[in-house]
Structure 1
Amino acid sequence: MLLRIVDRLEEILIATMMAGATLIIFLSVVQRFAVGIPLLFPIASQFDMDWAQELCIFMFIWMAKFGAAYGVRTGIHVGVDVLIKRLEPSRRKWVVLFGLLCGALFTGVIGTMGAKFVYGLMGTDQTTPDLEWPSWMVYLCIPLGSYLMCFRFLQVAWAFARTGELPHHDAAHVEDLVGEDAEMGAPV
């Protein structure tokens, strides 16, 4: 139950950041060009969107950190497994587990270093240039995203140790999509 909530929150955060950044960039571009035509858009010159670029950069950084964790969970990260597939199954299992645990260790270390960095920033008055937010709020994505990714590596490693299966992404499959072929009994 808790895992499903975390999964959904992760997906909602990524989708919201992506949609929000896209909308903000669109509105910023419209506003920028509308200012040049004051007769058609007299209100555009009253809105200042100088902050939009900075906010979108922050949103894409947060989206990337949480998107990496999502990639580990769903198996969409790029992996080079040519040599691993040539190993005999008993050795392959240990090599894959070693790789997953190394990923967990690395992201755990990055999360801890990020947490120490954010904690150090919290005691300062550093702010972002345009939005004037406390800098620690922006950098908080490093420990949060890294710890989530560490958790996902451990989750995948645990499932792999029990079942021998890794998550994999089927580009041809769209969840909850029922097409004409599915109604006739053929796979979509």
Structure 2
Amino acid sequence: MSASTKYGETLGKLEENFEGYIAIVLISLYTLLIFYTVVQRVTFENPPSFTLNGTLFLFTWMVWVAAAWAIRHESHFRFSLARSKLSNRANYVLRYVDFLTWVSFAAIIGYYSIELVQRRLATGRPILGTPIPQWMAYLAIPVGMALIILRATQQIIIIKRKYESGEDVTPTSDISK
């Protein structure tokens, strides 16, 4: 196997699982922070003030990033049982509508969340007990929405190519793709 092939495979895996890798890091940090809080509570009966907001904001980042990963892998909630009885064309149209709905939802939420980030940026306040500015925590929403838009658009293109090549585009109940 050539070096360029290995490099291409590595980039492909990174693209395919980018959000998953970030989510793993975030959930690991979240778990470590909770463990630290429990140890502090048991040992000193007084957990640090930053742990509550820290875990909340880490979890928020993880959820939005993981939502984009779920869309990329089509592991999100869908009505596959009802769709198994429909024609390939009907499934194509419905899947297109699904992903356009995701794009619309994420665009609306992302647009309005930018104002929220700007307000937090204007205050300049840090997350309680840390030097980390609050706006970085709230940035999870527009970043997550941008990733959802990217992944839903990517899925629209994939479904279109499959349909045009005559492949079956009926969603399955298998969420482990």
Whole-Å separation in 2 of the counterparts to 1:149 and 1:64: 12
Higher relative contact order (CA 8 A, sep 6+): 2
Whole-Å separation in 1 of the counterparts to 2:17 and 2:85: 36
Asked if structure 2 preserves the Cα contact closer than 8 Å seen for 1:108 and 1:150, the reply is yes
| Aligned equivalent of 1:23, options 32, 35, 38 | 32
Q: 1:120 to 1:156 in 2, by over 3 A?
A: same
Which amino acid in the other structure matches residue 32 of structure 1?
Answer: R
User: Which residue does the alignment assign to 1:139?
Assistant: 138
User: Which residue does the alignment assign to 2:52?
Assistant: 53
Unaligned runs of 5+ in 1: 37-44, 172-188
Whole-Å separation in 1 of the counterparts to 2:38 and 2:82: 48
Q: More helix per residue: 1 or 2? A: 2
Whole-Å separation in 1 of the counterparts to 2:66 and 2:176: 17
**Which sits farther off after the overlay, 63-72 or 161-170?**
161-170
Listed as ranges, the matches of 1:1-188 within 5 Å are: 4-35=13-44, 49-131=48-130, 133-164=132-163, 165=169, 169-170=175-176
Asked if structure 2 preserves the Cα contact closer than 8 Å seen for 1:24 and 1:56, the reply is yes
User: Which structure is larger by alpha-carbon Rg, 1 or 2?
Assistant: 1
- Cα root mean square deviation, aligned: 2.5
Unaligned runs of 5+ in 2: 1-7, 164-168
Task: State the secondary structure of the residue aligned to 2:113.
Answer: helix
Q: CA deviation at 1:124?
A: 2.5
Asked if structure 1 preserves the Cα contact closer than 8 Å seen for 2:106 and 2:149, the reply is yes
> What TM-score comes out, normalization by structure 1 length?
0.74
Asked if structure 1 preserves the Cα contact closer than 8 Å seen for 2:75 and 2:175, the reply is yes
Which amino acid in the other structure matches residue 20 of structure 1?
Answer: L
